[in-house]
Structure 1
Amino acid sequence: MIKVLSTSWPLLLGVMLLMVGNGIQGTLLGIRGAIEGFSTFEISLVMSAYFAGFLLGSQLAPSMIRKVGHVRVFAALGSLISAVLVVYPVAADWMVWTALRVLFGFCFSGIYITAESWLNNAATNETRGQALSAYMIVQMVGIIASQAILNVGDPSGFVLFVIPSVLVSLAFMPILLAPTPAPTFQTTKGLSFRELFRISPLGCVGMLLTGGVFSAMFGMAAVWGAMEGLSVRDISIFVGALYVGGLVLQYPIGWMSDRMDRRLLITGLSGIAAVTMLIAGLADLPFTAYLVAALLLGGITNPVYALLIAYTNDFLAQDDMAAASAGMIFLNGFGAIFGPIVTGWIMGQVGSGGFFLFISALFSLLTAYALWRMSRRAAPAGTAPSAFLVPTASPVAATAVIEKDR
């Protein structure tokens, strides 16, 4: 790990600053939207727009990198992100915010592609696993720290929008000045969605459903807190608990998955999440109980995402894994577009509890489908302990081109 940090610390520091800025923005918009009088459905459209932009960027950013190179794309998109962050409080209109969120998601997809390919290029086969683990850790640390920064200013003012803009601008300094040369962009073997579904129906369906869970969880958590009348401090603690849970439980669940049928873990964890979210949605719980639910939700969702990728890879040849990961991550992003929209509509119909009820419904569907798939197919034999993958935060970690179904 020391060798990884000695060669990659500028990139890892930059990524952490990026995630601090991004983490503040995600929670702050939910709080500020409520202050501005946006309806729950309008805020949900704003939140969903990020994932639409992210998908667009994941398709266009690779060609941009091929044309002008990593450094120029990184600098250009970073400048746009800083600009967007300071425009939010100036143009407090939900339709303007929706357009800005599309642009924001597009820019971050390109940023992630650049940073992750840079990291992979700097790492060796012996250090790549440690490098990706360090990458995940700094992202989690950055997002958790961002929730604390929310308490230093008034969400109805400008300061909390200026802070992430400054942090994002500073994030590019260590990355652009790093001695590691920019990598050469390469494409990989393609794989159609039809072929991917034939290889792993559970993986494909699971990624669609977890996409909805992720976007509802991180896009609407602050909206739930605002509807509940929580303070900015309590909302930031609740959102931070989602990430802390994922950070703490990721490795233990991954260790278990290499020693048993992954589908049993997917089914069991999804069932636990479904029941927990149902209770949180129907009962009037104290704030401490909601924090426990948040820790559990984050601690289950992140590992289930990785389990689905690992389970699919159990059926793949080595040279198909990159394309399959790209396809599944695209499905995850597609499902994420609809998470905040549906959540916002349900919350408008039944109240704040709709936030938990929607997530419960998605996990219930995943539990039922995983059980059905277990009756249709035997577990793969000879799963290697290294097959469990720790997912990156962006759905563009694999930049393989997905071929259209013919």
Structure 2
Amino acid sequence: MLAFIPPTVLSPLLSLLIFIVGHGLLSTLLTLRLNAEGVAAGWIGLVSSAYFAGLVIGAFVNVRLIRRIGHIRAYAAYASLLAVLALCHGLLVDPAIWSGLRLLGGFATGGLFVVIESWMLVSSSAATRGRLLAVYMILLYGGLAAGQWLLRYIDPLQLSPFALAAISASLSVLPLALTRVPLPQTESGRNISLLSLARLTPSAVGSCFASGLILGGVYGLLPLYFAANGRALEAVANLMALVILGGMLLQYPLGRLSDRVDRRRILAALGIGLLLLSLLMLLASQLPWSTLRASIIFLFGGLAFSLYPISLSQACDELTPEQMVSANQGMLLAYSLGSMTGPLLASQAMQYTSTAALFVYFATCGGALALFLFWRQKQRLPVSADNQQSYMPMAANTPLAGELDPRTPDSEPITGHQEDEAEVDIPR
């Protein structure tokens, strides 16, 4: 079934899987440890926002470093830094220090994803890129979910879980270090500013921003909500895994549905769905029906994680194919601004009211998104079904998604130097 994957792509995919398990563990572990230490929700939100700030900086800035020193050496540097940072979190438990550590961690993680996605780009063809992206998404979300389940077997007050995250980052270097692959040399497309992009496709940009607002809260504050509402560590791990699995399993059917109708209607429906599920979660939290809560959380994850890729498909419908590679940078920036802002806003509401304010926040975001998209439907006619592009699952990791996307033109990279030659050009 996976015969279409070139052997040279197996290395970055295996590295991704090894790294992302520890990454998923660490992301939730940090929130639970801060909560166990009695840290205020506002600080927890700041720590989460710092990570997303570093992630977007790394995704855009680290390209120059990778071009100068080469993929494998850059990946080894990022992974080593992430291993050290994971251990520092366990040794120095202070929210102010952790904010700085998470900023650096986001920076290194952004660069790490640039290495993996650019390696995938040069090692695949336009004919196989769509299926390769699907495998990439499955491994990404599957690894994140597996990291949540590891929480069931660790003590967040000990150093050992931080050591596990460090080991995961270190081991992820091995598959890449044992592989040689030609590196890509491609030309950058014309840059499109975020403001110009918002004029060209306001529905897509607005939905990407809303996706960041919601997912920033999911990653950074949802574990805090579960823990503060009396859930045992095992239950927190299971519920966080359900959120991610919902995102993995429901993205494709929702995306295919958006191929048949105006995507703005689907995005508005997702906003309404998130609003209703958030209100149901507030009611279900008062009931002993664990199955009901689990079902709501699963559906919530499916809708929340579907916002970004469907927003990208909406942009594909309203932009020319030549614009999409550069426009993807603006879409990622809109998402990142949302993911940096979301934890700050939600955590302040939680700190000064109660943890239930998190789902009030999610409901507000979903409702505001739906109202915005209903208004946009009155301002611009929908793209005809014949002119709609096919849906593709995407993750908000790096701007390289635009070049990995098989819907963009000229997606065949120009094969360049081997890895031992450091001066190479990679997709910007």
TM bracket (short chain): over 0.9
Change (3 A) 1:140 1:385: same
> Who is 1:317 aligned against?
320
Counterparts of 2:355 and 2:195, CA distance in 1: 38
Moved over 6 A (4+): none
> Which digits, 9 at most, give the CA deviation of each residue in 1:49-87, with x for residues without a partner?
101111221231112222222222211111100100001
Distance 1:385 1:123, change over 3 A: farther
The residue correspondences of 1:46-57 to structure 2 (distance < 5 A) are 46-57=47-58
Cross-structure match for 1:205: 206
| Partner SS state of residue 129, structure 1 | helix
Question: TM-score, normalized by length of structure 2?
Answer: 0.90
TM-score for the superposition, normalised by structure 1? 0.94
Partner of 1:403: none
Q: Structure 1 residues 237 and 383 mapped into 2: Cα distance closer, same or farther (>3 Å)?
A: farther
Match for residue 269 of structure 1?
Answer: 270
1:245-324 to structure 2, matched below 5 A, reads: 245-281=246-282, 284-286=286-288, 287-324=290-327
For residue 90 of structure 2, give the secondary structure of its aligned residue in structure 1: coil
Letter in 1 for 2:317: D
Q: Deviations over 1:119-139 (max 9, x none)?
A: 011011110111111111111
Cα root mean square deviation, aligned: 1.7
The number of equivalent residue pairs is: 400
Distance apart, 1:93 and its partner CA: 0.6
Task: Report the AA paired with residue 392 of structure 2.
Answer: L
Q: CA deviation at 1:356?
A: 0.9
Whether the 8 Å CA contact 1:212–1:362 is kept in 2: the answer is: yes
Deviations for 1:347-391, whole angstroms, at most 9, x for unmatched residues?
122212111111110011000000000111111124456531211
Secondary structure of 1:267's aligned partner: helix
Give, as a single letter, the amino acid of the residue that structure 2 aligns with 1:34: N
Out of 335, 340, 343, the residue aligned to residue 343 of structure 2 is 340
Q: In 2, are the aligned partners of 1:266 and 1:304 still within 8 Å (CA)?
A: yes
Q: Give, in whole Å, the separation in 2 of the partners of 1:268 and 1:104.
A: 35
* Separation of aligned partners in 1, 2:281 and 2:368: 18
Equivalences for 1:2-401 in 2 at 5 Å?
2-4=3-5, 6-184=7-185, 186-281=187-282, 284-286=286-288, 287-383=290-386, 386-398=389-401
Shift of 1:179: 3.6
- What SS does structure 2 have at the residue aligned with 1:18? helix
CA–CA distance in structure 2, aligned partners of residues 321 and 62 of structure 1: 19
Q: 2:410: which partner in 1?
A: none
Q: Which amino acid aligns with 1:352?
A: T
The residue that corresponds to 2:412 in the other structure is none
Contact kept? 1:137, 1:247, Cα under 8 Å: yes
Instruction: Tell me by how many angstroms 1:6 deviates.
Output: 4.1
Alpha-carbon distance in structure 2 between the residues aligned to 1:27 and 1:184: 37
Secondary structure (helix, strand or coil) at the match of 1:387 reads coil
Residue 172 of structure 2: SS of its match in structure 1?
A: helix
Q: 1:202 to 1:36 in 2, by over 3 A?
A: same
Work out the CA distance in 1 between the residues paired with 2:259 and 2:304.
18
1:292, distance to aligned residue in structure 2 (A)? 1.7
